[in-house]
Chain A
Amino acid sequence: MKSLRTRLLIAFVVLCGVTAAVVAGVTYVRARTVLLEKAQVAAVEAFTEKVARMTELNADLLSDRFSAAVILHRGRAVQGGLDPSAVSPELRARVASGEVSWQRVVVGGRAGLVMGMRVSDVEFYSARTMDDEQRDIRELALVAWLAAGCSMVVAVLLALLAARSVLRPVRELREAARRLGEGDLTTRVAVRGSDELAGVAATFNTTAEALERQVADARRFVADVSHELRTPLAAMTAVTDVLDEEAEHLPGDAGTAARLVAQETRNLTRLVDDLMEISRFDSGAAALAPDEVDVAAAATATLRLRGWSDVVTDLHPVTAVVDPRRLDVVVANLVANALRHGGPPVTLTVRGERGQVVVEVADRGPGLDPEVLPHVFDRFYKADSSRARSEGSGLGLAIAWENAVLHGGSLVAANRPGGGAVFTLRLPSGGGR
């Protein structure tokens, strides 16, 4: 009983089978009774009529093509070709009681009717075949069987139809739920009719709409927050250089204050930028801007742009479809971490593997504490909690990891056998998602 279709099929077939059997059976029995009784009544009436018209005893008057008769006078057969032993003692007893009597007998598969009546001390018996009636009844049975069989076939077809009409909406709903779960929030289901399935479909649509709205609200919130934060920061950032330049001309504390504000403005800007990145990933608003890029050349440009000249490189030209800005973000973060927390020499390797491009940043520093290792990509996770604040925002590796996943790739951290840490970035060369 695993599938709904099978259950429906069995229920339909059983229902139809039982109904057909009962209906056919009852009808057959009734029809048979009526048929036989009519034939019997007709035969008996004919028999009594013939006896009534008789004057001198003449059994030939009673018999015809279909029947044989015998007349017994005082118990002795005086006329007729019917063997008196064909008449059962029970029938003779009944006839003797004065009633016109008859009895159905089946001899050798053939049915017959034995009739008898007594007038005074003369008994009349007639036995006729019921071949015609038997044939009719057999035909009746055959038709009943055929009709039942056909109706079973129809029942199966109807069951399949009913199953389909129920299963189709169920399947559609399942499909839509899967698509919704995968992230297509515009998924809707067609609402047909007004039964419970339609109710579920309508509820599904309402829920999907609510989800869509929530996600849209979340994205709009991100956008709004971004705008609100950026405007004051833009004004402050515009003048950080001025503050830095004028700081040395300011007396005492004012100079220190100016430099402090300039620096913290820069830090705040970086933190806000990182927060915006992360929230875009969370709300699903992050999108790839892919382009065909020589990854080795891109990595070189990343180093060059930031002036990191003491990184050892091992580069093989590999072309892949990646988002150049995001690739730059990841590589820059990994190299900056290696330079800051690891130890020289810091190496950058770019090579291609089957269907992937692999970027490795390794160092020969203290490596990663085994306790820290599983949490290294967590947000705001500081390896050493006693260190008040590092240069980064605490989100660098988290963003790097999200960028890798957005491409359909991966980013893993490990310790090197000879000491030091290695971060391995893998991206599909074909463009992943």
Chain B
Amino acid sequence: MSRVLLIEDDQAVRDGLRLALTRQGHEVRAVGSGEDGLAGLAGVDVVVLDLMLPGVDGFEVCRRIRAGGTLPIIMLTARSDDMDVVAGLEAGADDYVVKPVQPRVLEARIRAVLRRGGEPARPGGAERHGELTVDRAGLVVSKGGVPVGLAPTELRLLLELSRAPGRVFSRQQLLESVWEHGYLGDSRLVDACVQRLRAKVEDDPAAPRFVQTVRGFGYRFGPL
């Protein structure tokens, strides 16, 4: 039973999605503006956010939510091949769905993103990779002793990559394992998440040491 905050300005869409999500077993709080959404973040497990909002626009809301914590965010967008998607991902969204969305698809995405946040504890203590410490059990990543605030998807991505340091993961593989999208998802999701991850853990995001790009193949962790 999870609490979903739905921020969507169109009344009909709001009512419809609230109806569908409630039937799926979620507790839904539906608001019609960015301001109301930002005001009602307390106790929420996942945010479903429409990008086209009056007043404070969707990107700004996304950024503020991301800045305030590790709450998972799923974007609702009307177009799939637009710069809006990339901008939203860069603003901190974990995933996106295209309107009109079938309820079962949205449901699957919500469950996937919640799974990332609440990964069951794994055995083994903290792994040390240079100044980076990855605690798989406590799901904490620290750099130089200071914990780094990662969004659920960013954390899941880092855990996946560092699971086999030096091994190359293709974007398609990461989409399947981290986002659970199926093989033919949008590789921009991976690229945007890598960018955000680098901004948080790398000394110089332009010259990454931990999360490296392997041209033509994908990404890998290290070698340091």
A and B touch in the complex (CB under 8 A): yes
Q: Mark A residues whose CB is within 8 Å of B.
A: 223, 226-227, 230-242, 245, 269, 272, 280, 286-287, 289, 291-293, 297-298, 301-302, 305, 324-325, 327-328
Q: Do A235 and B103 touch (CB < 8 A)?
A: no
Q: Do A289 and B20 touch (CB < 8 A)?
A: no
Closest 6 CB pairs of A and B: A238-B16, A301-B183, A235-B12, A237-B100, A234-B100, A234-B99
On chain A, the residues within 8 Å of B102 by CB distance are: 237, 240-241
Q: Is the interface of B mostly helix, strand, loop or mixed?
A: loop
A320 to chain B: closest CB distance in Å?
Answer: 12
Partner among B13, B78, B182, B183 whose Cβ is within 8 Å of the Cβ of A238: B13
Interface flag for B101 (CB, 8 Å) = yes
A325 to chain B: closest CB distance in Å?
Answer: 6
Interface size class of B (residues with CB under 8 A): 20 to 34
Partner among B20, B52, B79, B182 whose Cβ is within 8 Å of the Cβ of A242: B20
Most buried by B among A226, A234, A239, A324: A234
Q: Mark B residues whose CB is within 8 Å of A.
A: 10, 12-13, 15-17, 19-20, 23, 52, 76, 78-79, 81-82, 99-104, 170-172, 182-188, 216-217
Given the interface contacts A227-B78, A235-B12, A242-B23, does A291 sit within 8 Å of B17 by beta carbon? no
Q: Do A238 and B17 touch (CB < 8 A)?
A: yes
Closest chain A residue, CB of each to CB of B21: A238
B214 to chain A: closest CB distance in Å?
Answer: 11
Partner among B10, B186, B217 whose Cβ is within 8 Å of the Cβ of A325: B186
Closest chain B residue, CB of each to CB of A329: B184
* Complex-state Cα separation, A305 to B105, whole angstroms: 13
Most buried by A among B16, B20, B103, B171: B16
On chain B, the residues within 8 Å of A297 by CB distance are: 172, 183
Q: Do A234 and B20 touch (CB < 8 A)?
A: no
Q: Do B184 and A227 touch (CB < 8 A)?
A: no
On chain B, the residues within 8 Å of A238 by CB distance are: 13, 16-17, 19-20, 100-101, 103
Q: Do B100 and A324 touch (CB < 8 A)?
A: no
Closest chain B residue, CB of each to CB of A241: B103
Partner among B16, B76, B103, B184 whose Cβ is within 8 Å of the Cβ of A324: B184
Q: Do B13 and A291 touch (CB < 8 A)?
A: no
On chain B, the residues within 8 Å of A305 by CB distance are: 182-184
* Complex-state Cα separation, A239 to B100, whole angstroms: 11
Q: Do A231 and B99 touch (CB < 8 A)?
A: yes
Partner among A227, A236, A286, A324 whose Cβ is within 8 Å of the Cβ of B183: A324
A220 to chain B: closest CB distance in Å?
Answer: 12
* Complex-state Cα separation, A240 to B102, whole angstroms: 8
* Complex-state Cα separation, A230 to B100, whole angstroms: 6
Q: Do B184 and A302 touch (CB < 8 A)?
A: yes
* Complex-state Cα separation, A31 to B123, whole angstroms: 116
* Complex-state Cα separation, A298 to B52, whole angstroms: 33
On chain A, the residues within 8 Å of B188 by CB distance are: 289
Q: Do B184 and A327 touch (CB < 8 A)?
A: yes
A284 to chain B: closest CB distance in Å?
Answer: 13
Q: Do B104 and A241 touch (CB < 8 A)?
A: yes
A83 to chain B: closest CB distance in Å?
Answer: 107
Q: Do A237 and B101 touch (CB < 8 A)?
A: yes
Q: Do A232 and B12 touch (CB < 8 A)?
A: yes
On chain A, the residues within 8 Å of B52 by CB distance are: 227
A-B contact pairs, 13 of them (CB 8 A): A227-B79, A234-B16, A234-B76, A234-B99, A236-B16, A242-B20, A287-B81, A291-B171, A297-B172, A305-B183, A324-B172, A327-B184, A328-B184
On chain B, the residues within 8 Å of A240 by CB distance are: 102-103
A380 to chain B: closest CB distance in Å?
Answer: 22
Partner among A226, A298, A302, A325 whose Cβ is within 8 Å of the Cβ of B78: A226
Q: Do A325 and B216 touch (CB < 8 A)?
A: no
On chain B, the residues within 8 Å of A272 by CB distance are: 100
On chain A, the residues within 8 Å of B186 by CB distance are: 289, 325
